[in-house]
Amino acid sequence: MGAESVSADSIIDMAKTALSDEALSSAIYRRLARIYGDESVRSKIAEIAEMEGRHAEFWMNFLRKRNSESSTKAGRLNVALHLTTMRLLGLSLTLILLEKGERSAVELYSKILESPELADFERSELKKILEDELIHEQEFAEEESKFEGVLTYIRDAILGMNDGLVEILSVTTGLSGVYGSPFYVALGGLIVAIAGATSMGVGVYASVRAQRQVHESILQRISNASRYVAHLFRERLISYMVRKGYSKETSTAMAEESSKDHRMLSRVIAEEEYGLREEALVSPRKAGLYSGLSNAFGAIVPLIPYFLGLSISIALILSLLLAGVALAVAAFIIAVSANLPVKRKVSEMMIVGLGSAGVTFIIGRAVSTLFGINV
């Protein structure tokens, strides 16, 4: 985006967006600083809240200079909704959300800096604000890295829940097209749900266990070799860093420093050449248990209406509604944890989940008509 393409009107619109975002962020951060008990997280968030408040003042003055007014107050309902969402997500996913917000601010301010409409002092001040946002993003990323293992289990659990939900939604919707009795639909769906949850739990356990054994074997081999033939790993590390674009001198210095401790050397080799870290290895039992239980939980959602004694048509509608809500929540968490566009992910999962249910319902109706089933 070239500087000439950023008009005075678009600068005003961007500034209003920036003011709204900074005011909202400041209000959210102030409230978050009171919630979390972790002192390091709380102090960082409190400090960032003050900075965001100063950023909001900059944008207010920026707009006043251009005879454009906008409120610096964040709506209470908006703040409350964000805080409620963050509390439900937990600290690990909240940190990802905060990091994403800082990244969006960096992108917006980078565009504004390209505009010729800025005065020199405004450009200088905005560069300082941009530095603040980059620092905030890095701080949240560092805190987020402490929850890497937790995030892995969260993603596995959500994906397992989504699989169970979509599978049983398709099964029950298809059966409702065949049978007129909610009981038969519920019974068939329950049997498939139990089988599916068990199969997923066992399958994930076996897969993760095999993968962990392979990774542990590699780590052990690297550790043993670094203890007795460190000079070979030193040369490998130098070659690897040179291939990545570092100078021979820098690569040699890095390898020399790593070689002072065989544990450090083995860690560097494992991370750089194999992309492995011992603390990042996933527990097969936990992965299997979380996947199986989350799959079962997801499967229960579309089954609930069929156990309430409602008519088949009402049970079907309620099942689709509950599944739609659950799919949206699952998609939101997946998008946040994987840093994907939220709207696109929600739309994608809703279309796939409800679309597959629609297809199986049509198949069920066709089977019912073809074979004359009316139970």
pLDDT in tens, 104-121: 788 888 888 888 888 889
Angle ∠(93,97,103) on CA atoms, nearest 5: 140
- pLDDT interval class at 305 (50, 70, 90): very high
pTM of the model: 0.65
What average pLDDT does the segment 267-284 reach? 79
**91-113 vs 76-89: helix axis angle to the nearest 10?**
130
What average pLDDT does the segment 249-254 reach? 87
- pLDDT interval class at 187 (50, 70, 90): very high
329 vs 375, higher pLDDT: 329
Do residues 27 and 82 lie in contact, with contact meaning Cβ atoms separated by under 8 Å?
Answer: no
Per-residue model confidence (pLDDT) at position 302? 93
**Alpha carbon separation from 74 to 19, 58, 190, 202, 330 (Å, rounded):** 10, 16, 47, 48, 28
Residue 1 in this model has a pLDDT that exceeds 50: no
314 vs 52, higher pLDDT: 314
What average pLDDT does the segment 41-61 reach? 85
What average pLDDT does the segment 133-151 reach? 69
What average pLDDT does the segment 355-368 reach? 85
Residue 2 in this model has a pLDDT that exceeds 90: no
Per-residue model confidence (pLDDT) at position 147? 62
Residue 231 in this model has a pLDDT that exceeds 50: yes
Distance from the Cα of residue 225 to its chain's centroid: 37
Do residues 45 and 122 lie in contact, with contact meaning Cβ atoms separated by under 8 Å?
Answer: no
Per-residue model confidence (pLDDT) at position 72? 64
Q: Tell me what percent of the residues of the chain surpass a pLDDT of 70.
A: 89
* The residue to which tokens 């920036």 are assigned: 18
Per-residue model confidence (pLDDT) at position 41? 72
Per-residue model confidence (pLDDT) at position 374? 61
Residue 97 in this model has a pLDDT that exceeds 60: yes
What average pLDDT does the segment 241-251 reach? 87
Residue 40 in this model has a pLDDT that exceeds 80: no
What average pLDDT does the segment 281-307 reach? 89
Query: In the chain, where are the structural domains located?
Result: 3-146, 150-371
Q: Residue 153's closest CA among 345, 38, 281, 270?
A: 281
Residue 180 in this model has a pLDDT that exceeds 90: no
- pLDDT interval class at 71 (50, 70, 90): low
- pLDDT interval class at 192 (50, 70, 90): very high
Per-residue model confidence (pLDDT) at position 3? 40
What average pLDDT does the segment 6-35 reach? 81
123 vs 74, higher pLDDT: 123
Do residues 187 and 345 lie in contact, with contact meaning Cβ atoms separated by under 8 Å?
Answer: no
Residues 3-146, CATH architecture: Up-down Bundle (1.20)
88/140 Cα distance (integer angstroms)? 18
Per-residue model confidence (pLDDT) at position 4? 47
Residue 37 in this model has a pLDDT that exceeds 80: no
How high does pLDDT run on average in the chain? 82
What average pLDDT does the segment 346-361 reach? 88
